[in-house]
């Protein structure tokens, strides 16, 4: 196995190896920082502050990502990644200092995190497209597979290391660990040589808004997409809090230490890694994508309900692993088919719509969860939300054209929307 990895690294080149190391360190830093920061807010500010933080962050990401992502195509990606990561490290350092000094103020945290949000709005689109700039065309598929593996490893080990730091020395230590990872990541990417810029021209907000409206119009003109998007938006309102802001509150409610938050987050990440690698392929071959997607929603609902009912920490982590497996299977089947069904020149526009839907639903979900916690304890809220998610399975069962769409092979589904609804893509 080690020899296979070495050969893959030789095929893809030294510069790609440096980028993979950057990607790994960045995700470890982000996940460790998430554990430390969410526990800090949960311990000092409770549900109200977590809801405020979650809603604010989702709204900011929703606004900033489309505004700043064009810079990734028009500037040297190495500089974008390195400088944005360096500024992100400074923001994490300020949070770590505040935690070590026991100076907690939610508006200070949100203000500092806004700096980090600006950085991530630059980093994410640049990191998604940089592989094609540093890897020979013949090895791109191999490089993408290696990138996915490195990202999965980073998302798995990051919460574990953050949880250990949190358990041993508190929130400040977890944030210091995240700071170290961010600093090393920024230094690593500086060793990648300059990358060519794409076509000149200033990023245009007007152009982005025009394409975003086109993406919404196309979704609305395709009946299945119209209902699928609406149902997904409602689902995210209840699902997003159960894997985000409510998790540290649930861990605290069960009387567990901060270290267990890292274990629970690691369980979710391991599940999301196992889904596409092992589970989805086998289940798809046996039951078909449509039934697997229904089973995935049921798995998410059951995992969330059990997380509210069970108090043992290991069982809690297993519940979130089930949620992670189910989520990754649903996303793999649904998003892959949806992307292939859309003409290539429209995919970016529909991805922008997907992002807007997710972040809008997350912001509403965080606010709604904060209000709901005034009436229900967090464990009961998990049971209620999981039940609502389970009921929504019926919506996907009757979704027009959903079963037929998922039964198509990857070759059959390519440009399916354009063949089936050609008028949907006739835009002025």
Q: Is the pLDDT reported for residue 385 higher than 70?
A: yes
Q: Taking a C-beta distance cutoff of 8 angstroms, is the pair 324, 277 a contact?
A: no
Q: What is the pLDDT of residue 134?
A: 72
Tens of pLDDT, residue by residue over 78-96, are: 888 889 999 999 999 999 9
Q: Taking a C-beta distance cutoff of 8 angstroms, is the pair 275, 333 a contact?
A: no
Long-range residue pairs from 407-410, CB within 8 A, at least 24 positions apart, any chain = 407/288, 407/289, 407/290, 408/337, 410/336, 410/337, 410/340
- Distance between CA atoms of residues 235 and 385, nearest Å: 10
Lowest mean pLDDT among 309-313, 333-337, 342-346: 342-346
Q: Is the pLDDT reported for residue 359 higher than 60?
A: yes
Higher pLDDT, 69 or 401: 401
pLDDT band at 6 (very low <50, low <70, confident <90, very high): low
Q: Taking a C-beta distance cutoff of 8 angstroms, is the pair 265, 317 a contact?
A: no
Average pLDDT over residues 233-259: 93
Tens of pLDDT, residue by residue over 270-284, are: 998 888 878 888 999
Q: What is the pLDDT of residue 113?
A: 92
Q: Is the pLDDT reported for residue 326 higher than 80?
A: yes
Tens of pLDDT, residue by residue over 172-210, are: 999 999 999 999 999 998 888 776 555 445 555 566 677
Residues 6 or more apart whose CB falls under 8 angstroms from that of 211 comprise: 348, 349, 352
Q: What is the pLDDT of residue 202?
A: 53
Alpha helices, DSSP H, located in 135-287: 140-169, 171-189, 205-221, 223-242, 246-253, 258-274, 280-287
Higher pLDDT, 357 or 26: 26
Q: Is the pLDDT reported for residue 386 higher than 80?
A: yes
Sequence spans of domains, the chain: 14-194, 204-428
Q: What is the pLDDT of residue 161?
A: 93
Average pLDDT over residues 20-31: 92
Q: Taking a C-beta distance cutoff of 8 angstroms, is the pair 39, 248 a contact?
A: yes
- Per-residue burial over 226-235, b if 16 or more Cβ lie within 10 Å, else e, is ebbbeebebb
Q: What is the pLDDT of residue 18?
A: 86
Q: What is the pLDDT of residue 299?
A: 97
- Distance between CA atoms of residues 193 and 200, nearest Å: 20
Provide DSSP, 315-368. Answer: HHHHHHHHHHHHHHHHHHHHHHHHHHHS-GGGHHHHHHHHHHHHHHHHHHHHHH
Q: What is the pLDDT of residue 393?
A: 92
Q: Taking a C-beta distance cutoff of 8 angstroms, is the pair 380, 372 a contact?
A: no
The reported pTM is 0.84
Q: Which of these, 200, 156, 207, 161, lies nearest to 180 by C-alpha position?
A: 161
Same CATH fold assignment for domains 14-194 and 204-428: yes
Lowest mean pLDDT among 6-20, 168-182, 402-416: 6-20
SS3 107: helix
How many percent of the chain have pLDDT more than 90? 50
Q: Taking a C-beta distance cutoff of 8 angstroms, is the pair 131, 19 a contact?
A: yes
Domain 204-428 in CATH 1.20.1250.20? The answer is yes
Q: Is the pLDDT reported for residue 350 higher than 80?
A: no
CATH superfamily of 14-194: MFS general substrate transporter like domains (1.20.1250.20)
Lowest mean pLDDT among 10-14, 264-268, 294-298: 10-14
- Distance between CA atoms of residues 358 and 232, nearest Å: 8
Q: What is the pLDDT of residue 304?
A: 98
Query: Which tokens sit at 325?
Result: 């497996």
Provide DSSP, 143-173. Answer: HHHHHHHHHHHHHHHHHHHHHHHHHHH-HHH
Q: Taking a C-beta distance cutoff of 8 angstroms, is the pair 339, 418 a contact?
A: no
Q: Taking a C-beta distance cutoff of 8 angstroms, is the pair 123, 66 a contact?
A: no
Q: Is the pLDDT reported for residue 109 higher than 60?
A: yes
């Amino acid at each position: 196995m080690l020899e296979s990895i070495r050969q893959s690294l030789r095929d893809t080149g030294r510069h790609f190896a440096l980028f993979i190391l950057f990607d790994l360190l960045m995700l470890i830093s982000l996940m460790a920082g998430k554990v430390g920061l969410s526990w800090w807010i949960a311990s000092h500010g409770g549900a109200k502050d977590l809801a405020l933080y979650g809603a604010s962050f989702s709204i900011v990401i929703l606004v900033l990502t489309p505004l700043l992502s064009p810079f990734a195509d028009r500037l040297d990606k190495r500089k974008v990644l390195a400088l944005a990561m360096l500024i992100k490290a400074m923001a994490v350092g300020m949070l770590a200092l505040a935690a070590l000094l026991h100076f907690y103020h939610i508006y200070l945290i949100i203000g500092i995190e806004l700096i980090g949000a600006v950085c991530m709005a630059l980093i994410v689109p640049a990191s998604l497209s940089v592989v094609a700039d540093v890897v020979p065309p013949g090895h791109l598929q191999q490089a993408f597979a290696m990138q996915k593996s490195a990202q999965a490893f980073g998302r798995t080990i990051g919460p574990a290391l953050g949880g250990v730091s949190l358990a041993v020395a508190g929130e400040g230590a977890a944030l210091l660990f995240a700071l170290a990872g961010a600093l090393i990541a920024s230094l690593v990417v500086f060793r990648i040589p300059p990358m060519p810029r794409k076509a000149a021209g200033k990023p245009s907000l007007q152009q982005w808004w025009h394409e975003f409206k086109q993406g919404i119009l196309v979704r609305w003109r395709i009946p299945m997409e119209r209902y699928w998007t609406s149902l997904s938006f409602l689902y995210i309102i209840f699902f997003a809090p159960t894997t985000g802001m409510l998790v540290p509150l649930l861990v605290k409610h069960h009387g567990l230490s901060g270290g267990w938050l890292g274990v629970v987050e690691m369980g979710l990440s391991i599940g999301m890694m196992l889904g596409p690698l092992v589970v989805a392929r086998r289940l798809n071959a046996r039951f078909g994508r449509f039934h697997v997607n229904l089973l995935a929603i049921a798995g998410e609902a059951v995992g969330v309900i059990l997380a509210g009912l069970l108090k043992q920490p290991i069982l809690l982590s297993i519940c979130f692993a089930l949620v992670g497996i189910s989520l990754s299977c649903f996303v793999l089947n649904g998003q892959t088919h949806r992307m292939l069904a859309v003409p290539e020149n429209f995919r970016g526009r529909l991805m922008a719509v997907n992002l807007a839907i997710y972040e809008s639903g997350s912001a509403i979900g965080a606010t709604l969860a904060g209000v709901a916690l005034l009436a229900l304890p967090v464990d009961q809220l998990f049971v209620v939300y999981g039940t609502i998610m389970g009921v929504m399975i019926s919506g996907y069962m009757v979704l027009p054209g959903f079963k037929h769409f998922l039964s198509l092979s990857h070759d059959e589904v390519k440009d399916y929307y354009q063949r089936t609804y050609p008028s949907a893509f006739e835009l002025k």
